[in-house]
Chain A
Amino acid sequence: MPGLGTSYGRGGATTFAADLQHSDAILIMGSNMAECHPVAFRWVMKAKARDPNPCKLIHADPRFTRTSAMANTYAPVRAGSDIVFLGALIHHMVDQYERILAKPEAERDARDKFFLDYLIHYTNSASIITEDFRDTEDNDGVFSGFQPAQRRYDASKWRYETDPRDAASAAAPETFTTAVVSLVGPPAHQDPTLTHERCVFRILKKHFQRYTAQMVEEVCGTAQSTFQEVAHTLWSNSGPDRTSAICYAVGWTQHTTGVQMIRAAAVLQLLLGNIGRPGGGILALRGHATIQGSTDIATLYNLHPGYLNTPSALKRHDTLLDYIRAETSATSYWSNFPKFIVSQLKAWFGDAATAANSYAYDFLPKIVGDHSHMPMMVAMARGDMDGFFAMGQNPAVGGQNAGFQRKALAKLKWLVVRDLYETETASFWKDSPEVQSGELVPREIQTEVFFLPAAAVAEMDGSFTNTQRLVQWHEKAVDPPEDARSDIWFTVHLGRRLKELYRESPLERDRPIQSLVWIYVNEAANREWRIKDEPSAELILKEINGYTWTPGRPLEGAPAASFADLKDDGTTACGAWIYTGIYAGGRNQAANRRGDDWVSLGWGFSWPANRRLMYNRASADLAGNPWPKEARLAREHPRAGRALPGFVYWDAAQNRWMGLDVPDFPPTKRPSAPAQPRGVGLDYHDGASPFIMKGDGKGWLYVPAGLVDGPLPTHYEPYESPVQNTVYRQQNNPVTILYNVPGNPYAPVGSREFPHVLSTYRLTEHHLSGTMSRWLPWLAELQPELFCELSPEHAGEIGVENTGWVVISTPRGSIRAKALVTRRIQPFRLRERTVHHVGLPWHWGYKGVSTGDVVNNLSALVGDPNVNIHEAKVFVCDVRKG
């Protein structure tokens, strides 16, 4: 996620669930953690039940959920107003810093010094921003660089101020190494006194000054006293001897400002000194078993495995060298980028990838725009797509504006669905509402559909990467039944067939398939099983890990031990560099099963390099000594019978970083090491810069590059909103991705026809589009029917009784559901009017033992500009008795 990635360097959760047991306060926002991640919530409850010093639990959410019921403080926040709430918290914390800065140095206590050290040295607060930057405060609610006609920003207006680049560095590079060296530029100007008006701290202060407790009350509908309690709780539970954590989920991501909501949390945690420290951090709670893994090893159009941007015809990616020059950040660990891409090309194309042909770089397809989920369905609806694989995903229910997506499926020539149960996607041509209504006629649908039964997890070997970046291996317990096969079986055998079909082709364009390293089936290893041609998941894991390339003998070389082993000269092959080490020593480290009561380095493998708590250099002070909280926790958790001094710390006797976790820092780099302004990679950073993936080693309060909608979080109303934006004149995110296509109408701001706010969400008892829960009577009976949650006030206004039928409508469609009238839903009293909030769990569809209307028939195709995530957490609707 770019929210975390641009702030800290990596998009993954910074911490792990079991670490929450050490939090002094936890803010859950944009997440209904107790319901959607009950077992991760175990650690929250453990912290809350701690005696003495119980953790304070805060839940901020539009709905009073099972999470709210557990909270010490519940803050109702109108859907989509999160940045106002978080912005006011940032404002509050900046004021605390101003108090500290106003004190004479002699009067500052240890707590004051902690905050200043963390702010000045571990964040980019002191960096100075170019004069081209103009804030929303001075620019009518948009940042400088906005180009209204193109609805885009020129992000070059937001950069750091630096000395001019050396002319020499522009010389044409010869090798990958010289290319990277030539990319090293001058560092940002600094003002460690934080007084320069264009230093990040001053810009931050100015930007958030209008976000006040009163504004929270008027825009979010949260009582000022509740807000003040949250602010006080977070500030008083952060510092040298206390840490607070934030947990979020799709309650933040599914907004047209979703990335900026996460950014706001990232800023807050930096101001509170909570990143890289036990009990602190940001835990991103993800919803699928390996949604993290499928982002790391991306089945995403814009990423190759290991967060390498996909070559694009729209960028200067024409040759491998161009690509490397465009994509390498030379002053961070990313300076190793050439090794990552060259090793990946070797892993894919083997001996066909040579230095002479730029490691077969031209074999890679280039993207020509946004090929993500929503544009894919728009192309399909236009008839621009013929073949489609839907595997373990069910867009007929889970897709936004699901009716649009189902109708798009009818334009396909062929569709392959793989799942455990008959999905709504597989049977769109037979049972969909469009077929029921006559809008689609089965005889006229020319789509050839294949349903292939999938294996259950217990029926195959493989790994999942959980929400905390932890890769865990699951073992095959039994053969899958009948025609059911593992997912790798399908793809590997499809690939084998295609290699066979293309074997004789003389065409250059078929060479990628012919050269593809594809030797994963080892029948001898399947002797005990019925299915003899099952591919070896462990062999694939070895390729992901990386190994020494031996010409003519793919997959035979010694596995790489760490990403430091990778080379850019074709002597190593590696599928996904961030997972390197997972097969170190030829052993499947994901299958490690020695846990403990906390960090558990011996359980599974956590990328990167088995680090559990990222940026953990920040758990020690500038000199490398642990902060007091870390020292206490280390005392309480001895390792091998010995108490270590801290969580991660500089061991002067051994001249290296040590600790309970794997240090996320060069192991022997001294805390006092100076930065080298011309150094490549981590040499560019000093010994007190914990964020090794960032070009300056700092946590970014302000994002000078990497986001398309602004360097600082800014409140805009959701694309569909019942109210005007009262914070700025700019109503919504000015670079929101819109789909003005037939079948996807939007409601205007303040629509009388659709006056209420609607959120979709999950329940504990069901999973996603229901394929994995609505066929299971044990789960289906617990929540047997679709319902619509309404406040008693709202139900009274429209004359609906509990369990009575209601019709919910949006410009995209209408569905029926039973009303669940509850005080847990509350109307939001804003400055101008009262807004009703309506809730719908989206688990139902037309197949399964429990069926119901598809809630996503109501939602819209509309996207966040950074990642093109839709806005299912807030759009507008009408509700009437039905």
Chain B
Amino acid sequence: MNAIIPNSLQSAALRTSYLDIENVWKAYGNFVALRDISLSIQQGEFICFLGPSGCGKTTLLRAIAGLDPQSRGSIRQAGRDISNLPASQRDYGIVFQSYALFPNLTVAANIAFGLENTGRPWDEIKSRVKELLELVGLPDKALSYPSQLSGGQQQRIALARAIAINPGLLLLDEPLSALDAKVRVHLRHEIKELQRKLQVTTIMVTHDQEEALAMADRIVVMNHGVIEQVGTPIDVYRHPASLFVANFIGETNRIKAHFSRGIVTIGRTLLETTVTGFADEADVTVAVRPEDILPHARGHEQLAQPNHLPVTITAMEFLGSFWRVHLRSTELGGTPLVANFSMNAVRRFSLAEGEDLTVELPADRVLVFPAAR
């Protein structure tokens, strides 16, 4: 598993933390948008704030940027307390969803905007603009106006403008949301590359879990103004800390179950799991991802083994590289189950709609949470 984790993270423990958010609250009148948020971000990390709209991720970003100060709590950047500093005295570059490029200035003038008026000689500004344009792959657009560029190109210019002054922190507020799907995938790769090259600490706000999984070193999953989980993409996907996280990141089947004397039961099926720590006789919810459900054998087995569930295939959808199979089981009552089966598995078991099947819910892939209300 270590091989997959970026190197930058393995050495994270050795580095000092760059941005420290401590007990931050934000209230708008009676509405509490952030409750007791604490978070440490390492130098050079790429962090994603992920969550549904209204979860507080943008509020947190704006507090870090000094645009909408937090109500309580403190924020430290590079050892400096910035809690009370106005935006102009903090050290960051920012890219908004709207790009916010100055429409009446050329691309070059947009990028140069933050460099001028700082005592830099003109030659230096010029070569810096050129360098940045090359960095974002648009060296020939210097004299164009923003409206003459495509959305993706505009976003790259906004990025170049944000990093022009070498900020210590790069803030990206849903930078890809306004783009179409193809451009989005392409650009997220580029942004990640750029960030790796510059080693600039980056925080990106997004509601797109795929984006977060693909780009982030660590993901901060938020909901209702609290942090649900902080972890690497693999962490939050494999070991979601809550049912919300399991649901929000990737897909998951939710099954009502019962926990009694260390054993989980679904209907009459016993489930071996790796979890402990529930009160005896508690209702629980079992979560299992579609790709983790394994086809075990055709037909229903007579002798029920732990973790094996008799099901019937109600529908099958062909999704190119795999099949999405809808299952129903008497053990589950009315709740349907969704599984992703590989092409090979479907062929091996000659699966078809209406067939009976026994599936396995592997013990190390089954997650158990307190019952969803």
Same complex? no
A: residues with CB less than 8 A from B are none
